[in-house]
Structures are given as C-alpha cells and as structure tokens.
A and B are shown apart, each in its own frame.
Chain A
Amino acid sequence: MRVKGEIKTMKQHILIVEDDNVLQEMYCEKFEMDGFKVEKAATGREGLKTLEKSVPDIILLDILMPDMNGLEMLKEMKKNRDFRDIPVILLTNLGESKIDMDSELSFALGIKDYLIKTKHTPDDVSKRVKQILKVEQLG
C-alpha cells in the first residue's frame, strides 16, 4: 500500500493515441483506475499536438489511424529532441497475428513492445506499462 501511495503522489503520465472511441475510453478508464494521469489523442497529428503541451512518461500508440498513422507520428517524434526518448508501446490490430520486428529497428524507434488488442487485455497492457516505467526509472 505504501508503494501504491508513492506512485499516486508522483502521478505517472500516459498518452493514449487511439482512433477508436470505445477503445480509447476503455484504456483511459483502465489507466485512470490504475492511477495514471491520462492524455488522449485520436490521430497521430493530434498526438503530436498533445506532446507539445505536456511530455508524457510513456505513449500507448495505435498504428492504423486516419490523418497521420502511428508510424508517421513516431518518425516525427524522432525529429524532436524532447520527444525522442519517450518510451512507446505499439498497440495494434494489424494483420499479422504475431508480429516480429527487427529488434534493432524497434530500438532505434524507441518501441518497447507490441501488444495486440485482441490478445492482450487492458490489464495486460497496464501491467506491461508499469513494468516498462519501472525499468525506465531504474535506468
């Protein structure tokens, strides 16, 4: 309980970029429940705008989105020094059931993990986010 309290006082900051309303709402609910300060965006472009206002500790990023997709947003982020090092979790429903990605390339783009919406529950996602943040803090 003590540890939980500490996190609460620090209020981890997460940005959820997801174009589907229901899913966006769902992940928001989950992370708010878990004590995160949540920002949300529906497209890559919106996501970038949100970044300008406040820099999150971690980003949950959808890939297929209208206007600007997740990968394009990632590329844009890499151009800005302030956003370059933000850890990113790709949250996708893309064709491949099991995504394998070139680890070097993923590392270069700051991608920490891929999670698949139909496979991983909000709880799984939340757990993974917390895990990554723990590692980041230690590092």
Chain B
Amino acid sequence: MGIFLIFFTVLSWAENIILKYMLKEKAEGISRGLQRENAGNSDITKLLFDIADFDFALINMRDSIKKMKNLIMKYSGASSCTLMFLDNYGYLWKVGEKTTYPFKLGEGIAGWSAKCQKRVFVNDVSSDKRYKPLYKNRQGAMVSVPVVKNGKTLGIISLTYSKEKLKLYPPNNNVLDIFVKKMRVVLENVFLYYVAENEKNELRARKSISKALEENISLEEKVEIIRKNVVRFTSINDLSIYLEDEKSHEISCLGGAGKKNITPTLDLMNIYFNKKGKKHDFLDLSEKFDFNFITKRGSGYITMYPIFSKSKIMGYILIEEKIKNIDNLSVLEKRFIELASSHLGEYLVRETSSKKIIEEKEKWRTIFHNVDDGIILLSRDKIVIEANLKAREILGSKNTSLIGANFFSLFKIINPEVESPTLTSIKNLDRFKKSDKEELEKKIDKFFSSQKVIRPQEYYIQTKSGKYWIIGRMKTAIQDPNSELFGIIHIKDITKSKEVEQDKNEFMSMVSHELRTPLSAMKGYLSMILNSDYGKLSKKQEKSLKRVEESNERMVVLVEDILDVSRIELGRFNLNKEPINLSNITRAMVRELGAKIQEKNITLKIQNKLVDPCLKKTIKNPEHTCNDLGVYVLADRDRLMQILGNLIDNAIKYSFDGGKIDINIKPDKNFVEILVKDDGVGVRKEDQDKLFRRFSRIHNPLSIQAGGTGLGLYITKKLILAHNGNISVSSKQGKGTTFSVKMPIAKQLPLI
C-alpha cells in the first residue's frame, strides 16, 4: 500500500507541475472564452493560477479539502459544495467531513451521476420525479459532476445553487472541467488515504474489542466496549446488544440504547433470522409486523444481527434508526458489525465451555472429597499425589494434605489380637506375625511390577490420628507412561462396624459362657452323683437323675447349636481345610455313636466301594480297625465330624429298633458322595423342603421322640455349603430316608 501511495503522490506531483505550466499557457484563451460566455464570472486566469498553486496534502486532508471547496464555491458560484469519493463497495463518501451515511451508487442525484458518469444538472429540483428533492421548500438547482479517470468513477463534485446564486452565477462547464481535472488527483489520494485509514481504524477497533473480551472485566463492560467501537468505526448512531441468560433463558439488554426498551424474545428472533444467521431488517415495524414491543414505539427501522454461539443464537445486536440508513452502510462497516457479533459469540462459547470445565472439575473435586472412603493416588515410587479428605482424616489429620509423603510412612499395621488375646489368637499368633507391614509392602511391590489388583483385605492400622480398621485395596490407574499417577488406593473405614461386630461377638461369647457355666456345674455334679461319689443311689433316684442329666445334655446341645447358627449368620466360622480320610473319620464317628447304635440294636454298614474292601464288614465291634487307603476330602476336621455326626445321629434317631443304616462312600472325579440311608420313619414329600430350615420340626405320624433342636440339619447344610459341597434328601414315609452329601475331593494327600 505504501508503495502505491508514493507512486500516486509522485504522479500527482508530476501532474501538478505539468498542469501549472500547461494551464498558464491555455489560461488566456480559456479566460477569453469564459469571459465571452459569462461576463460576470471570476477571472478564469486567476482560477488557473489558484488551482496550480493548490497542493493537496494528505497529512492535512481536512484543511486541504476545505481550501478546495472554497476554491470551487468561489469560482463556480455555488452556495454549497460537497466532495465525495467512491469506495470499492459502491458507496459515495463525503470527503473531509465527519463521517455520515454514504450514498449508494445509482441512488440520488450524486449516486446516479457517479454511476452513469454523466454530469447532472437539475434545475428546479422539486419538479423532477427521477431525483427526490433534497430541498423541498426551496427552489434552486443541483449539479452533480462525476470525476472519472480511465473510465473509472473516482467520485463526484456536488454543488447546490440557491435561487439567487443561480441567477447570478449559472454553472459554468469550463470552470467545472478545471476542477474535475484537479479532483482526479485529489480523489485518488483520498481513496488511498481512506483505504489505509479504514484499515487502520478497523484494526484498532478489532483490537480493542478482542482486548475487552480477554480482559478481566464484567460482561456488561465488555459489551459496552464493543458497542463504542462499533459506533466509532461505522456510521450508525447507536446499537443495543441483547443476550440470553443461560439459566433463565430470558433476554436482557447488556448495553446500548436498548437498555430502557422492551426486549424481544429469542424464539421470536429465531423466526426472523434466517438459517445462515444473516442480519434481518424490519422496515416500518408498526405496520408490517405484529410486534407488541415495537408498536408502542412507533415506526422505525430495525436491523438485527444474530450473535451465534456454536450455531445457536444467543442474542443479537439491534440497530434502530429513525431512517433507513442500514442499507447505506458500506460492506466494510457491515462486515465489522458481523465481526463484532461473531467475536462476542465466540467469547460466549469459550466462556461457557471454560465455565463448564471449571464446574466439571469442581463437581469431581466435591465427589472426591465427600466420599466416605479414603482415596489416595500414588506415584510409581509410592509417593502420595493426592488424597481426599477421608484419607487425610485417617492417615494424618484433616489439615494435612499428605501430598509428597511416602505412603508407607503414614501408618503401621498392628496386630489386633495382641491387645485382647483369645483362644483363636493363640491359634493365629504366627499367622499374624507374617501379615505385618513388610508383607503388605511386598504385596504392593508385586502390584507395581505385575500391575495386578490388590484384592480388598482387612487391616488394622495405627496412624497419627488413631487406630483404624480398614479394608484396603489397590488398583492401577490409567496406563499413561507420561502420567505421574500410577496406583489408586482405596481405604474403607470399617472401624465402627468392626467395633459393633466385636461387641456382638463379645456378647455372644459372654452369653455362651454364662449359659455354659451353670450347665457345666449341673452336668458335673450330676455325673458325680450318678457315679455314686456321694453314696449309693436308689433305682428311682438314679432313674430320675438320669432324666435330669439327659435334659441337661439337650440344653448343652441347644446352646451349642444356637451359637453355631449365630456364628454362621455372622459369617464367622473359620474353616481350616485339610485333606481328611473320609473313611476313617466316618468310622470314628460311628464308633463315637456306638452306644446309641447298640441301644437301638441297629445294624450299621459302611460301604467304601473303591478302595477299602475290608470296610464292607459290619461294624459291630467299635474297636474295629482297618488299615485302608481311604478317600480323602478337603474339609475342616471338626466341621466334617459335626456334619457326619448330625447325619448319622439323625439316622439313628429316626430308625426303628433293629433297623438298618447303610453308609455309602462313592468317590467321583471332583466330589465324594456320602449316602446315609436308613429304613426308618421317613419324611413326607411336602415336608422334605422344610428339613433344612431353621427350627423346623416336622410332624411325624409315628411320633418318635427325637428330641432335637430343629437346628441340626440347618447347620449341617450351611457347613456343607461353606465347604463348596451340597446336600439333598430323598425319602418315603414309613420306608426310610437317604441323605446324599457331596464334598469336594482332596487333590493332594496329607504329607504324613
């Protein structure tokens, strides 16, 4: 642009020089001619000299233009003079005056003259219908002279003559031609100046809008800056900016003249903005549109530019003018308004998305810290990256962040049994020795190398803030090699439920102890009395006391069973599974129950088809021994004895005197089936389901006095299920019952 400017300046300077000399020579002839035509006109020669002396200076354009105008008025005799240049977009702009609306090419006298490049002279403008009169009440004349160079219109010289002036100095074509020639140079410069200036102005306005949008100021202030810049850059007088409130969806005016006015809703606006989001003009709204908000305000011209935020209209720029100037805005100006609206729209998109990111972040932060479990994020070297409030509370204090601390420096694992030893604690003493901190560290090391999940496990830990029971587990975080985050540790504080559980257990053991002590005393003394430790008893005494002893025994069993049930329901029975010779243990159990078997004169057979042919012998002699290989099941020894005991005892109970009981041991691939078959009273089909329920007493028509607690089979079933086994029953009333138990086979034999 600069090069062109210099080029044109040089050109204009050269032309000036040439003009000065050429015009001086021609001046005499022309002035003679002029004098002939218009005797009263100013001296043409003088004009030529004045023109030659006139230097157009861009730097002081306004003054230069003023001088030019004065010259024109002086020599042409016009009462007023307007100089206009034509921009690239077909608009005629007044030169050297405060920016006003331009004339469109082809409209009005000036516009028409510029378009057709013809000199237009309108005498008595009021009578001409082609050109709308500019001065309705005055009679005068208008002259519009196009300034054309190489077929291109540069601008026009527009002159008005009052009635009086017209009489004195009618327009002189020769004089005007001299000015046209001069104006070519001037307008070329003005055009360049205008382009440069416009670009500069636009850049400045855009910059200040961008700056305002980035600055840390309120939205109202931003909008005000946008409004001021649009007004400064364009020729519109004012505008209002309306935006939709994100939450209430109400439209409110954030700046400009519209502040006091009524606001149209976006829905309504959506109808009028076309899909491309171009502006929409409303002409004489009061008549054309049934807008309540407009009718109150009378007629006017409204133009709206939508403000888009991601293809959604968020608001609009509203331009309201008394006369329809919008069409007269240059493309540049329109472009600028659109630019301002798109800048604002983009800003709003950014704002809402960044607001959303912050909100999202805040949301996750809130969740993170308000979870009732501790969450700790660890780096590869086991340093705490982040810990939530609960984790802080457990591992340190609410005020310490824990960040940067080594995870293992935050707690100690303690052995809960050290504080209150019980029988099980002695059992588990060496087991606890192993599961100390080193063990956990090893586990976590393994986790870090193999990246396997650490399954939830209970730990009792001592931290700065106290002692806690926790369930700890660990998971790998997102596998991003660049990420600092490596593992997530999840701590569930179960101290309270643990305390409740412990209370319950303590209560249970207390109750059991309290119940058992008197029962023990009764049992002890009864046995001593019956043992004749206190002297011989009469037959009657012995019989009665035997009954007392039996009742006491039932009470003992009942207490045991109730305790077993509560233990099962608390999920608190430890199974120490080991391979057990099922054949041997069955025989042992039968031996233990030998007295009852003999009492009822029952024949009991154990059949062990696969391995032990010698067990086919009828067990009549409790001291029977047989060195067999046996079948091994994986079970807890005591619990297995309880299961077998219950089943055999049941079979004995519900057998008739002289009945038969068959015990069959059938090993399979994964399970051993144990069948306990009696030919006793049996169970009705409809009662069979009830057998394994708690406290279920099944009415049997033969009313054999069984004297059970109604818990035996329930406990038996639960114990079998805990061993991953199963139990089923088949029975026919009066014919007998068969219980089938399946227990998992031991894959390995015991070492001994």
Contacts and interface: CB of A to CB of B under 8 A. Distances in A.
Interface stretch (B13-21, B45-53, B523-531): B523-531
Contacts of B571: none
A33 B523 CA distance: 18
Contacts of B638: 96-98, 100
A93 B525 CA distance: 17
21 contacts: A22-B518, A23-B517, A26-B524, A30-B524, A64-B509, A64-B513, A71-B425, A92-B423, A93-B512, A94-B422, A97-B638, A98-B638, A98-B642, A100-B576, A101-B426, A102-B426, A102-B430, A105-B426, A105-B429, A118-B560, A122-B527
A63 interface: yes
What range describes how many residues of A lie at the interface?
A: 20 to 34
Q: How large is the interface on B (under 10, 10 to 19, 20 to 34, 35 or more residues)?
A: 35 or more
Nearest to A23: B521
Contacts of B423: 63, 71, 92, 94-96, 99, 101
A69 interface: yes
B563 interface: yes
B520 A23 contact: yes
B516 interface: yes
The residue in B429, B525, B531, B567 that gathers the most chain A C-beta atoms within 10 A of its C-beta is B525
A117 B527 CA distance: 12
Interface string B535-567: 000000000000000000000100110011001
A49 B421 CA distance: 21
B269 interface: no
Given A93-B512, A98-B641, A102-B427, A118 B421 contact: no
A93 B513 contact: yes
A109 B430 CA distance: 14
Interface in B481-531: 508-509, 512-513, 516-521, 523-525, 527-528, 531
Contact of B427 (A20, A63, A72, A101): A101
A100 B563 CA distance: 18
Contacts of A101: 423, 426-427
Interface in B620-655: 637-638, 641-642
B533 interface: yes
A117 B421 contact: no
B528 A69 contact: no
Contacts of B429: 105
B200 to A, nearest CB: 95
B421 A69 contact: yes
Contacts of A97: 560, 563-564, 638, 642
A72 B421 CA distance: 8
Interface of B: 421-427, 429-430, 508-509, 512-513, 516-521, 523-525, 527-528, 531, 533, 556, 559-560, 563-564, 567, 576, 637-638, 641-642
Given A99-B423, A117-B520, A117-B524, 5 more contacts: A97-B560, A100-B637, A101-B426, A102-B426, A122-B528
B563 A20 contact: no
Contacts of A29: 528
Contact of A109 (B426, B508, B637): B426
B525 A26 contact: yes
B7 to A, nearest CB: 108
A123 B64 CA distance: 138
Contacts of B425: 71
Contacts of B422: 71, 94
B421 A123 contact: no
Contacts of B516: 93, 117-118
A95 B508 contact: yes
Nearest to A104: B430
B427 A122 contact: no
Nearest to B518: A22
Contact of A123 (B520, B527, B559): B527
B550 to A, nearest CB: 14
Contacts of B528: 26, 29-30, 121-123
Contacts of A122: 524, 527-528
B556 A118 contact: yes
B560 A121 contact: no
Contacts of A102: 426-427, 430
B517 A20 contact: yes
A96 B637 CA distance: 13
Given A30-B528, A33-B533, A93 B520 contact: yes
